[in-house]
Amino acid sequence: THPSSVAFRRCSVDYRRTPGLSKTHPSRHRRRPPPPNSFVTQESARAEFDPVIDTALGQAASDVRYAHPTPSLCLASFARLASAPSQPDPSWFHRMPSSVAGRLLYVIKSGLLQPTSWMGCYASHVDDYSLLASLFDDVLGSMNTGSPVVTKPSMSSNSYDLRSQGLTKSVSIRARVSRNFEGWPLPSRMSETERLLLEQRLIRLLCNASATRPCPVFSLTPHDRWAKASTQVASKNPWHVGGDALRQLRESHVMFQDTSNDVYLTSAGVSSNWPSGRGCIVLSTGIIAWYGEEDHLRLIVVDDKGHQLGETYNKLIRSLEAVAAVLSSDGMHFARHPRYGFVSSCPSNLGLGLRISVLLPLHSCRGVSQSAQLQDWQQKAAAQGLSLRGFAGEGSEIRTDDPVEVTNSKSNRPFQTAEQMLSGLLSGASTLFRDQCEA
């Protein structure tokens, strides 16, 4: 077990249900002095001082600096801020109110428990990005020297046709946006009741925006949990799906994978209460709304026989505008930050919250091992500002005998406009396709 994961487990305060401390926790009601040999001095002791939180954060900072050669982006930023004498406030987390320090501990939890994580943090509330701006500024600065895009995505006037770059065969094009709602905890901190209430509300509202009747809803919530949040719904889930039907939905990429199998999402709390409050709604052919995955809502457009990246993207924006209008009429608004753009659970999805990809049928070179071939493809993609994923999407294995998903690099996405993403994908995917070996 990595030492920093032990540091997190030392913190026994339950932050599960409140933004700050439990109402019964004594440090919420009186100021407590720092413990002996703590990481703060008496002069810098904060109001609402909590020695359990402070010790856990201090131990984590020490472990990240001395026990982990390649910490995640968030943990590296956390360690820098906790120790750098050049910072305006060298005490940094020691001077935070306990409620904010508790947020910090929860945000970096996945990085402490999973040292192999690339990002190593998930926001737990919309205002984490304001309360912990020093951390997120440092994280984003280590990803890119630019600033996140804060404007709304708009329609593109360019088709970005792959055929213009020599890719004449039709390919599968996918575009998605991630959105979260004001006034709700983010998925890592939602209770089961909140997940169910959000699911039932989204089904009611989004079915009004669906072009298909009856509205095709596929819910993963078990029958025995469906009515736990409200007495106003049926005792059994009328949209429940499982077994072979669920397997087919996942194989056709209509439904997302089981996030409880993802160690990073599980460590962050995103997969808590699985599978309650999770599912998808088919708004029309090729337009799907996922709810309860990594973010509150993900809107996805799939064009399985496409050529024009701009056409698929514009279809997504039209659908997003229609969905936003329906939701806002019921008081549900997408959360935005003035400096980071649309709020997401993972900082890599800030900015527009947009990702665009194509599935390319890349061919292996004769006499080249699979590992060497994958390394060659990944290096070429990285040189174009792109990354590769397996046929089944996030976290899936890349196989040389399956189509490979080529998408914008997560290091660049928060800082790119839609036009930059589209033009970069057009150029990079076409280069990868042209440079591959003959079948």
For 390-422, the pLDDT digits (tens) are 776 666 677 767 788 999 999 999 999 999 999
* More reliable by pLDDT, 157 or 6: 157
Mean pLDDT lowest among 12-26, 82-96, 109-123: 12-26
Per-residue confidence (pLDDT) for residue 37, from 0 to 100: 34
Specify the CATH number of the domain 51-56+66-143.
1.10.135
Per-residue confidence (pLDDT) for residue 66, from 0 to 100: 64
User: Where residue 86 falls among pLDDT bands split at 50, 70, 90?
Assistant: low
Torsion on CA atoms 420, 425, 427, 433, rounded to nearest 10: 180
Instruction: Provide the annotated binding site.
Output: 172-176, 253, 298, 355-359
* More reliable by pLDDT, 176 or 47: 176
Secondary structure (H, E, C), the chain: CCHHHHHHHHCCCCCCCCCCCCCCCHHHCCCCCCCCCCCCCCCCCCCCCCHHHHHHHHHHHHHHHHHCCCCCHHHHHHHHHHHCCCCCCCCHHHHCCHHHHHHHHHHCHHHHHCCCCCCCCCCCCCCHHHHCHHHHHHHHHHHCCCCCCCCCCCCCCCCCEHHHHCCCCCEEEEEEEEECECCCCCHHHCCHHHHHHHHHHHHHHHCCCCCCCCCCEEECCCHHHHCCCCCCCCCCCCCECCHHHHHHHHHCCCCCCCHHHCHHHHHHCCCCCCCCCCEEEEEECCEEEEECCCCCEEEEEEEEEECEHHHHHHHHHHHHHHHHHHHHCCCCCECEECCCEECCCCHHHCECCEEEEEEECCCCCCCCCHHHHHHHHHHHHHHCCEEEEECCECCCCCCCCCCEEEEECCCCHHHCCHHHHHHHHHHHHHHHHHHCCCC
Per-residue confidence (pLDDT) for residue 23, from 0 to 100: 33
Mean pLDDT calculated for residue range 135-139: 95
- Tell me the pLDDT tens digit for each residue of 46-57: 344 566 777 777
pTM of the entire predicted model? 0.85
Mean pLDDT calculated for residue range 21-37: 34
Mean pLDDT calculated for residue range 188-214: 88
Per-residue confidence (pLDDT) for residue 400, from 0 to 100: 66
Residues 205 and 298: beta-carbon distance below 8 Å: no
What is the percent of the chain where pLDDT is above 70? 81
Per-residue confidence (pLDDT) for residue 356, from 0 to 100: 96
Mean pLDDT calculated for residue range 280-308: 95
Per-chain mean pLDDT for the chain? 83
Report the distance separating Cα 425 and Cα 245, nearest Å: 34
* More reliable by pLDDT, 9 or 381: 381
- Tell me the pLDDT tens digit for each residue of 103-112: 998 999 998 8
Instruction: Provide the annotated binding site for ATP.
Output: 172-176, 253, 298, 355-359
Residues 405 and 389: beta-carbon distance below 8 Å: yes
What is the percent of the chain where pLDDT is above 90? 53
- The answer on pLDDT for 287 being more than 90 is yes
- Tell me the pLDDT tens digit for each residue of 259-281: 999 999 999 999 999 999 999 99
Per-residue confidence (pLDDT) for residue 10, from 0 to 100: 42
Residues 135 and 100: beta-carbon distance below 8 Å: no
Mean pLDDT calculated for residue range 303-327: 95
Q: Are strands 341-342 and 386-389 parallel, antiparallel or unpaired?
A: unpaired
